[in-house]
């Protein structure tokens, strides 16, 4: 008899273990840049588009302002970003990269490539995995609620995800 509650059959644990392993590989790569993983995520958002509001950054990273504000303050202290009042609305503060923040962009380009190399997976599998995880995230956030009997799902295979 198989136990559906066995740890190695749990999707949540597989995601948790993969996340921890991935973050552990990131750590030394980001140490070379002088960044923590949360700081790296903020930098990714600002490299994509500089001059964002705190709420916009928080929405992008799924972080509340209580978590994000101290992180931004530390990064400002490191000279990576600065807060500027929006010229047409003094109440709104935008976060901008400094020259030092912009200068990290080029060396940071190696981080995803080096992580992919450590994964041991072909690029196609990594891209498919990322796509599947994005879809899973969207589905779980869509407001779907668990039912009492998950076997009613048309995609249920009888195996525990």
Per the domain annotation, does 100 fall within a domain?
yes
How far from 151 is each of 2, 14, 17, 160, CA to CA, in Å? 17, 21, 26, 10
Per the domain annotation, does 153 fall within a domain?
no
**Tens digits of residue pLDDT in 63-119:** 999 999 999 999 999 999 999 998 888 888 999 999 999 999 999 999 999 999 999
Per the domain annotation, does 137 fall within a domain?
no
Total number of domains in the chain: 1
Mean pLDDT of the 121-139 span: 96
Q: Is 0.75 surpassed by the pTM of this model?
A: yes
Per the domain annotation, does 3 fall within a domain?
no
Quote the pLDDT of residue 91.
Answer: 83
Mean pLDDT of the 31-43 span: 97
Q: What is the CATH number of the domain that holds 105?
A: 1.10.10.10
User: Does residue 30 carry a pLDDT above 50?
Assistant: yes
Per the domain annotation, does 148 fall within a domain?
no
Q: What stretches of 81-153 show up as alpha helix (H) in DSSP?
A: 99-103, 105-108, 110-119, 123-141
List the domain range (segments joined by +) for residue 35.
11-130
Per the domain annotation, does 39 fall within a domain?
yes
């Amino acid at each position: 008899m198989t136990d559906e509650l066995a740890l190695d059959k749990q999707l949540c644990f597989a995601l948790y273990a993969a996340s921890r392993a991935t973050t552990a590989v990131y750590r030394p790569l980001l140490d070379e840049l002088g960044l923590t993983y949360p700081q790296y995520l903020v930098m990714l958002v600002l490299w994509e588009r500089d001059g964002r509001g705190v709420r916009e950054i928080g929405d992008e990273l799924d972080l509340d302002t209580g978590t994000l504000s101290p992180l931004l303050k530390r990064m400002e202290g490191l000279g990576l970003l600065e807060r500027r009042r929006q010229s047409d609305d003094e109440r709104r503060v935008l976060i901008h990269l400094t020259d030092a923040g912009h200068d990290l962009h080029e060396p940071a380009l190696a981080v995803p490539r080096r992580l992919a190399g450590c994964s041991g997976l072909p690029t196609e599998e990594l891209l498919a995995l990322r796509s599947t995880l994005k879809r899973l995230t969207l589905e779980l956030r869509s407001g779907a609620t668990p039912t009492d009997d998950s076997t009613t799902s048309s995609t249920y295979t009888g195996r525990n995800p």
